[in-house]
Each structure stands twice: as C-alpha cells, then as structure tokens.
Amino acid sequence: MIAAKSHQTRKAEPFHKRGHGKEAGVSKSDGSKAEGAKAASTGAEDAEVVAAQGRGDPDGPAGKASKSRSKGAEAAATAEAGEAPPLGHGDPDEALKDAARRVRENAYVPYSGFKVGAAIRSASGAIHMGCNVENAAYPEGTCAEAGAIAAMVAAGDLRIAEVAVIADSPHPVPPCGGCRQKLAEFGDPEVLVVMYNTQGEMLRTTIRDLLPGGFSVDYMLRS
C-alpha cells in the first residue's frame, strides 16, 4: 500500500508582516483555482492598501496629484473672478507673448516692412491685441501699442495689467515715446512691460522706467 503524501500547510503571515510588492505567503492547495483566487485576493488587498497610503501621503503620487488639482482649481477660481496678478510682479505672461507674436503677422507695413505686435492683459484678465498700421501720409500711421489700447477700450476695459511687444529687430523693441505716454494713461507706474524680438531675446521693464517724468492729469489740477 502506498502511503498517502501529507500536505504541509504553512500558516499565512499577518498582512502587516508582509512587504508590499512581494509575493504573499499562502497555503498550498490541491485546487489550483483556489490558489489563484487567494493570490488575486491578496494582490487586491495590497493594491488597496498601497493606494490608501498614496492618498494619505502628501508627497506620494496621489497626494501630488491632489495638490495639483487643488492649485488648478484655485487658478481657475481666480480667473473666473476676474482677478489679475499683482502689477509688475511674476514671470512674463507666455500667453501674452504668443498673442503679440501672432497679431504681428497682420501688421500693415507696405512702406517700412517693419512689423510690430503688441498685446495687453487688462485688469479683468482679458487679452487685447494690436499691430502697426502704416499710411502713405506717413505721420497718420498707428503703432501696435496704440492699436492694443484701442481694442482694450473698445472692449470696455480701462486698466492695463501687463504689456508684451515684439518685432523682428536686433534687440527687444521698446515702445516709442508717444506709446509710452498712452500706456501711462491706462496703466499704473509699476505695470510690467516685456519687450521681445523674434530671435527670442527679452527685456523686462515698467511703465515708470519707460517714461520717467511723464505727463499726467496731476499737472492739470489747479489749487
């Protein structure tokens, strides 16, 4: 008579003693289906616990994703409320630069061939664009900055939060004297003005630095 083989059964270790990601210690069984079911169940438990730990750990993947969603929600709420960043602060607005670059292509410059694009972000958060438009009676042309200001006012906005200007020039292109005075009419002295050329160079300044000693309504007040 052949002696029946005995099956030794190992007691499963408590979950807290097992390492995450390692194969769980389970009892051997004659039924392969039962063994597979237990392994699948154990793997599901591991995944659930690891996921729970990720949600609880602020530096874990889930925690970082939660932070990112929170920041995105805050930014969306700020934009919806029409709030603009503090004037003269922060990094140059890439969306503003891109708007100036795109509108520059529409410039009407049959005489000089010098295309300029300008974009203004108003205090409401909206972007207004303008390009230079020349005229055969040369002084009658308009600058890109003046066009952007006109678009802003036509849209019902009266305060400038940031300005971007771009041209195909050897150095970042500055607004002319007349445009500096126009910007000062609608923007505080610390408003950020970012000048670019098409080669990628950039220069940051403010309305105050562009127009020191500029004329304002204060000079029209009489005591």
Q: Is 24 a member of any domain?
A: no
- Indicate the range of 8-17, 41-50, 91-100, 154-163 predicted with least confidence: 8-17
Q: Of 126, 131, 219, 115, which Cα lies nearest the Cα of 167?
A: 115
Residues at the annotated binding site? 132-138, 143, 176, 179
**Residue span of the structural domain in which 183 resides:** 94-212
Gap between the Cα atoms of 62 and 56, Å rounded: 8
Please spell the DSSP secondary structure of 134-146, one letter per residue.
--SSGGG-B-HHH
Determine the pLDDT at residue 92. Answer: 74
> pTM for the whole thing?
0.60
- Are 172 and 186 within 8 A, CB to CB? no
Annotation: binding site for Zn(2+): 143, 176, 179
Q: What share of the chain in percent tops pLDDT 90?
A: 56
| 83 falls within a domain | no
**Structural domain contains residue 11:** no
Domain assignment of residue 29, yes or no: no
Is 94 labeled as catalytic in the residue annotation? no
Q: What pLDDT sits at residue 80?
A: 42
Query: Is residue 187 included in any domain, yes or no?
Result: yes
Q: How many domains does the chain have?
A: 1
Res 87: pLDDT: 41
**Cα 187 from Cα 118, distance rounded (Å):** 15
- Assign residue 144 the CATH number of its domain: 3.40.140.10
Please say if the pLDDT value at position 181 is more than 80.
yes
pLDDT over 90 (residue 79): no
pLDDT given for residue 182 in this prediction: 98
Cα separation, 168 vs 114, in Å, equals 7
- DSSP, collapsed to helix, strand or coil, labels residue 223 as coil
pLDDT band at 90 (very low <50, low <70, confident <90, very high): low
Q: Which of 145, 162, 190, 201 is catalytic?
A: 145
Quick check: 199 pLDDT over 50? Answer: yes
5 located within any domain: no
**Residue 122 within a domain:** yes
Confidence band, pLDDT 50/70/90 cuts, at residue 10: very low
Give, for 113, the enclosing helix (H) or strand (E): none
Structure confidence by residue, pLDDT tens digits, 137-146: 999 999 999 9
